[in-house]
Structure 1
Amino acid sequence: MTDTLLFTNIDEPGLNTIDVYLARGGYEQLGRALKMEREDLITELSGSGLRGRGGAGFPMGRKASFIPKGDMQKYVVCNADESEPGTFKDRELIQKNPHQLIEGLIIAAYAIDATINYIYIRGEYDQQADILDAAIAEARERGFLGEKILGSDFSVQLELSRGAGAYICGEETGLLDSLEGKRGNPRLKPPFPANEGLFNGPTLINNVETLSAIPSIIKLGAEGYAAIGVKDSSGTKLVSISGNVERPGNYEIELGTSSRELIYDLAGGPVDGRAIKCWFPGGSSTPVLTADDLDIGYDYDSIAAAGSMLGSGAIIVVDETQSVVELAYKLAKFYSHESCGKCTPCREGTAWTFHMVERIKEGTATPMDLDIMAAVQEQIIGHCLCVLGDAMAMPIGSLIAKFRDEFEAEIETNRNERERKLAEEFAAAEVEIEGISA
């Protein structure tokens, strides 16, 4: 594994303050970037191969190149609405090294000539929001934000906006609506945010980890950064590992590292030597993989070839003691609750899936319900305004496909248990009636 980039000095006391950050070379890369032509800077970002770390994995430099030239107001928006179950890496970056994010965001803003910019943070991240507020104030006081920063002709503003806890606002267009003071609903695309985003202006949206990686790209150069990792998956990646492991936490790894190494060597594997039943490679919204997939490389293409997605980089490990029905129940409950209800496939599909899994738990389901539930997932995927519906359908569909026998066994067990209880209640009622008759 390569040396850390994002987590360099991450546990140093006071790194969240500007004095310590400056002492460790902070904002030096911003000074270098401001001396570059904007087109050269975007070329550098593109050449690094950095892909978006929020979920979709779209090349960051290419995304920046889509922003039109001209005198119109342009924006950079940082998506810090980290709400994907199992994902907690951005929280640590914000809490321990907020200036790295701010420096990366300002460089991105300069690249596309965006003078007004925002960080939209998850509503539950009160402590992290306070830390960011203080860091933004420090950067402004030291001349890294404001008019003609560092003696250049570039003026830049940055504001922090706090969400209110809605998962849907992690979707980029729902986030934009929330920033504009509206209800956070996803928008129909096209137009895409690069052309018509915040307040109808061209908008570059990236998450915390993506923007935080930019200073390292400027420092190492495009070729130096691209040399880390594997083809089409360059650089390092922050991975949040949770679930049934000995050492859950955030780890910075070189893309292409064996998934087995991440789960067993870094996180210690399941407790008490238990076997792995399945694992989510990129957060709760990705199709599950099994223990047979542990030796694949942890990178975008390898995970995709195995039938899943790298997503947000959150590995959730599920060991052999866990019920897949209970897992499906929790997934369906979460996504049906978080659906904004704007489009029918997501609104109805998530709700019906939740009710069908409830039937399994209650003992009223039949094996035919599994066929219906699997068909519902297929009808959801690709038919929603945003990916929230897919985020439930992909993992649940994969659970049914890979663990159908376990679903069927639990259906039979729960039905038998329900019938036993009903028989006992009926027998008790008969005794009570006979007693009354006597």
Structure 2
Amino acid sequence: MSQSLLADASVRLEQALKYVSISDDAFSRLKYPKASLSVSIPVRMDDGSLRIFQGYRVRYDDTRGPGKGGVRYHPSVSLDEVQSLAFWMTFKCALLNLPFGGAKGGITVNPKELSRAELERLSRGYIEAIADFIGTDVDILAPDVYTNEMIMGWMMDQYSIIRRRISPGVVTGKPLTMGGSQGRDTATATGAFHVMNTVLPKFGQIPEKTTIAVQGFGNAGAQIAQLLNKAGYKVVAVSDSQGGIYASQGLDIPSIRQYKQNHLTVTGVYCKDSVCNIIDHEVITNEQLLTLDVDVLIPAALEKQITEKNAHDVKAKYIFEVANGPITSSADAILNTKGIHVFPDILVNAGGVTVSYLEWVQNRNGLYWSLTEVQERLKVRMIEETEVVWRISQEFGVNMRTSAYINALNRLNEAMSAKGTRDYYQGI
């Protein structure tokens, strides 16, 4: 991801600005991140050598509350990428009406090349480098691409060592035994499921007659596939980084998840090993999955999967963005022309940050909720905000992405105006 992605994300903002009256102050503040940090992280490797890794943390805006955003480990991580993701988080938190601003972090690394001990040293070294930049009331971390609850636990522990006090609220997505929340590990998928169940009936789609393809079979993709499968939807295709499979009569998602966990791939799931049922299927690529003739397409992998190069070939009627930024703005225009309904990432995948908020609240109060309580709070929040975005969409006659940005912009503008703007000081 490059600087152009932030410009691409800003195109969506420009579309929403046609329907929102915001102060010049708010517009100016949203152009730039509040603070960006680049750090070098020295790590002693298992063979005794020293490697230096580049790490980043960006706090884009904190008008509505402390920064909130994940930390990703990936070879493509750059300051530009992290800044773009922090920009998205700003709008996502405002859209869900959470008392957070937007932030993001990352390390340029292929975590698959590191041992567990090296991974721990890298994670603790990252916190050593950014400790003065984060905090329970300043900037709260969470898991993202190739980070998990174990890594979050290391980070929280290291921050507590530095501060000489237990500080569970600085990191969410932690292990339950370290102050994590019930339901956090499945929150992104569960939130997306509630969004889909809220809007698909508005188009007359019923589970038994709705075919679905899921690109990306990591944590969120696998979980949303299983939730949909259990609810009666027909999941006909899934893929991971190595390829995918398609079966028109539907896939056995639990078997695929088990095979994936054991073999780290989905492409062989129906053609070898006794764990799977033998059914007619096709082996397909990630690119082929995106153009399947299905009702619903769920990009749950990485950014920029649907671009102007392949948007014309997309046949799905509805797209739900479980990944961050899987569709470029130029592709959006093509999909709109084709009459394809796109439901944006800042709404669809906001279940993760919503339960992160619930975890943060529990950490601060020292009172922890059951899984049922957490899931009910998540369900209510996701359905309420989805209905708000739908009403705005219908009111202005705009697509759901523009509607989501209209709502988020209004909330950000209200928060910024509460501190005083040019109009206030000039008595306008």
Q: Which TM-score applies when normalising by structure 2?
A: 0.26
The structure with the largest strand share of the pair is: 2
Say which structure, 1 or 2, has more relative contact order (CA 8 Å, 6+ apart). 2
Rg larger in 1 or in 2?
A: 1
Q: Which TM-score applies when normalising by structure 1?
A: 0.25
